[in-house]
Amino acid sequence: MTKTTDLSQLDLNSTYTYADYLSWQFDDAIELIKGKIMAMSPAPSSEHQSIVTNLGGVLYNFFYKKPCKLFYAPFDVRLYDRKKSIVANIDIYSVVQPDLCVICDKTKIDSKGCLGSPDWVIEILSRGNSKKEMQLKYQLYQESGIKEYWLVYPGEKAVHQFVLDDQTEKYQLLAMYSGEDIATPQLFPDCQIDLREVFEDDSE
């Protein structure tokens, strides 16, 4: 059997599973969204990394010695339709690496990452993110039952906060924060995030 060591060996129009993902042996950073390969940006910008560091630092301090755990990318999150049972790697068609995620159910955490939905996912947009990719992720996170989803816009210094409605099982846009605001996750109301600190760039 030929080893898959380069992304060019794969048919990007085909549908793949987590079992396929585990068999690949190349350096390209990718995600699987409903079986389709999504190549990730080769390297995040310094602006992106600064926001991850600043926001991650705030969240690390908040969740330190608390039951819920914070994880940074690269960290595989295997998602599946919550209305279906999951029995094997061949039944998983989505593997993503959110910039930041918070997981409260420790049974979902294993040696390979997270199996199932984190409680809170934060994605920081990069220039390499396509509109299609972000729409697919929005739908995937919604279908997977991720309770809270934040989209961070570095250029605009803004955060959009989406919260899953229990009745409709659809995301509601709860708040749009600017870089001057104090942002508060609905899941963790004691967590007060000063966005001036998040968007602060020491290199300026």
Which CATH number does the domain housing residue 135 bear?
A: 3.90.1570.10
Q: Rounded to whole angstroms, what are the CA distances from 38 to 67, 96, 144, 149?
A: 32, 9, 18, 20
Q: What are the tens digits of pLDDT across the range 71-111?
A: 999 899 999 876 665 666 778 899 999 999 999 999 999 99
Write down the pLDDT at residue 29. Answer: 82
Contacts from 105-109 at CB under 8 Å and sequence distance 24+? 106/67, 106/69, 109/69
What does the alpha-carbon distance between residue 50 and residue 28 come to, in Å, rounded to a whole number? 23
Looking at the structure of the chain, the number of domains it has is: 1
Tell me the HSE value of 161 on the side-chain side, using a 13 A CA sphere: 14
| Beta strands 100-103; 69-72: pairing state | antiparallel
pLDDT band at 45 (very low <50, low <70, confident <90, very high): confident
| Beta strands 148-153; 120-124: pairing state | parallel
2 domain-assigned: no
More confident residue, 204 or 21: 21
16 domain-assigned: yes
Q: Which structural domain, as residue segments, surrounds residue 67?
A: 7-198
1 domain-assigned: no
First to last CA, the chain: 52
Write down the pLDDT at residue 127. Answer: 73
| Beta strands 158-164; 171-178: pairing state | antiparallel
pLDDT band at 6 (very low <50, low <70, confident <90, very high): confident
33 domain-assigned: yes
Write down the pLDDT at residue 204. Answer: 46
- Would you call 29 exposed, middle or buried from its count of C-beta atoms within 10 A (0-12, 13-18, 19+)? middle
Please count the other Cβ atoms lying within 10 Å of the Cβ belonging to residue 196.
14
Q: What are the tens digits of pLDDT across the range 116-175?
A: 999 999 999 887 666 767 888 999 999 999 999 999 999 999 999 999 999 999 999 999
Question: What one-letter code names the amino acid at 93?
Answer: Y
68 domain-assigned: yes
H or E stretch at 62: helix 46-63
Write down the pLDDT at residue 61. Answer: 96
42 domain-assigned: yes
Residue 73 · residue 99 · CB < 8 Å: yes
Please count the other Cβ atoms lying within 10 Å of the Cβ belonging to residue 161.
20
Place of tokens 């997977």: 144
